Amino acid sequence: MREQEKKTLQKEVGLRVWRCRTGLGMSREQLAERLGISTQYVSEIEQGKKCMSMSIFVELSQIFHVGLEYLAYGTLPEDPTLDRLERFLRELTPLDRAMAAHMLQMAAEAVRQMQPEEE
């Protein structure tokens, strides 16, 4: 893996850690305490500046209740929420489905813009 690919992967992993933490309403301080590391180290992981040890990586997956594959690559196993949403969308008329998809896209973009602060 080239150096640029490693840096990109590290940033993507950090963003997933940030999303999981904030999605649970957990502060950096709370996560740092649970992991036994400094708040600064959590911040650097989330910003993609530091690579974490395998033990922290595994512990994060347990704290966040997500698989290691999700933290590493962003892939999720079968998700009942997505299945339920897909079934709901399929029941709509094409026009209503298009409007719902547009609203979901706007909401998803708003979430993506809530990225960890850069130094």
Inform me whether the pLDDT recorded for 90 exceeds 70.
yes
Q: Is the dihedral of CA 69, 76, 66, 106 positive or negative?
A: positive
Inform me whether the pLDDT recorded for 38 exceeds 50.
yes
Inform me whether the pLDDT recorded for 20 exceeds 50.
yes
For the chain, the domains span: 3-73, 80-112
Whether the pTM exceeds 0.85: the reply is no
Inform me whether the pLDDT recorded for 119 exceeds 50.
no
Statement: 3-73 belongs to CATH 1.10.260.40: yes
Largest CA distance in the chain: 51
User: CA 70: distance to chain centroid?
Assistant: 8
